């Protein structure tokens, strides 16, 4: 039964063409791996193309989610172990203070009149905070805030999680660089100063790991430009 013509030897691709096609396909796959897959999946961006395409931040968020899940699982295991071990309360002996007998004042001693203290100069109170934001996070929801800062600039901050503790990651990015300053799991509040390691965006990523809604209140002040909500 006749189905199709058998191609001639001249119509078949040569070995050189097959090798060249294979090399081109391998180069294209390598370029996609470095510029797309690595930044989006593992937050690795050796060429900088992933950050320009917005893929590196996607990979960083995936890495943060994986770290949070592992940390939550470890915290649950520690909580189960600590609940099974009960320590006896430490009994402290009461400390008895010895009475010290003060000498009676001499009747011949003269009491000098007290001189009035000068009134302190009034202090000029500067506003402590420049920006304040209040946001409600549902269970599992995250949000991110950034400050545009120059290298060496210092910003003050204070935040509190009302309704339950929260996970956070203080980090920065810009000028082709990225840095993680501090991470915390199940923290109810924090305050201090944030000093920019380089010129760029520096701030916080928060996530609610409670079973209920929480209210995050963030206040900032100091040497920075814009206050931006990223997520």
Q: What is the pLDDT of residues 47-90, one digit of tens each?
A: 777 677 777 777 777 777 878 878 778 877 876 676 666 554 55
Q: Give the best-scoring range by mean pLDDT among 27-36, 80-89, 119-128, 131-140.
A: 131-140
pLDDT of 192 reads 96
Angstrom distance (rounded) from CA 205 to CA 175:
20
Angstrom distance (rounded) from CA 217 to CA 160:
5
Q: Is the separation of the CB atoms in 44 and 38 below 8 Å?
A: yes
142 has which bridge partners? 207
Q: What is the pLDDT of residues 104-113, one digit of tens each?
A: 655 555 555 5
pLDDT of 165 reads 97
Q: Is the separation of the CB atoms in 48 and 175 below 8 Å?
A: no
Instruction: Report the predicted TM-score, pTM, of the whole model to 2 decimal places.
Output: 0.52
Residue 25 has pLDDT above 70, yes or no: yes
Where are the domain boundaries for CATH 2.60.120.680 in the chain?
131-229
Residue 211 has pLDDT above 80, yes or no: yes
Lowest mean pLDDT among 21-25, 143-147, 161-165, 167-171: 21-25
What is 131-229's CATH number, 2.60.120.380, 3.10.290.10, 2.60.120.680, 3.40.50.720?
A: 2.60.120.680
Give 215's contacts (C-beta < 8 A, 6+ positions apart). 134, 135, 136, 137, 161, 162, 163
Closest residue by Cα to residue 43 from 146, 227, 152, 171: 171
In the block, tokens 């649950």 appear at 76
For residue 192, what are its two tokens?
């201090």
Q: Is the separation of the CB atoms in 129 and 178 below 8 Å?
A: no
For residue 126, what are its two tokens?
């500067």
More confident residue, 205 or 49: 205
């Amino acid at each position: 039964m006749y189905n199709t013509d058998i191609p001639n030897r001249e119509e078949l691709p040569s070995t050189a063409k097959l090798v060249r096609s294979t090399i081109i396909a391998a180069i294209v796959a390598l370029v996609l791996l470095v510029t797309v897959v690595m930044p989006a999946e593992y937050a690795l961006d050796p060429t900088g193309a992933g950050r320009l395409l917005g893929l590196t931040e996607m990979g960083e968020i995936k890495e943060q989610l994986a770290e949070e899940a592992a940390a939550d699982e470890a915290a649950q295991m520690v909580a189960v172990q600590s609940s099974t071990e009960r320590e006896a309360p430490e009994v402290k002996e009461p400390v008895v203070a010895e009475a010290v007998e003060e000498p009676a004042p001499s009747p011949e001693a003269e009491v000098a009149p007290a001189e009035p203290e000068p009134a302190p100069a009034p202090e000029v109170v500067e506003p402590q905070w420049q920006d304040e934001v209040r946001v409600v996070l549902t269970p599992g929801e995250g949000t991110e805030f950034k400050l545009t800062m120059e290298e060496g600039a210092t910003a003050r901050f204070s935040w509190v999680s009302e309704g339950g503790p929260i996970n956070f990651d203080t980090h920065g990015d810009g000028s082709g660089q990225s840095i993680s300053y501090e991470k915390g799991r199940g923290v109810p509040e924090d305050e201090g100063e944030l000093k920019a390691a380089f010129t760029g965006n520096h701030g916080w990523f928060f996530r609610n790991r409670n079973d209920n809604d929480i209210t995050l209140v963030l206040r900032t002040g100091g040497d920075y430009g814009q206050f931006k909500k990223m997520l």
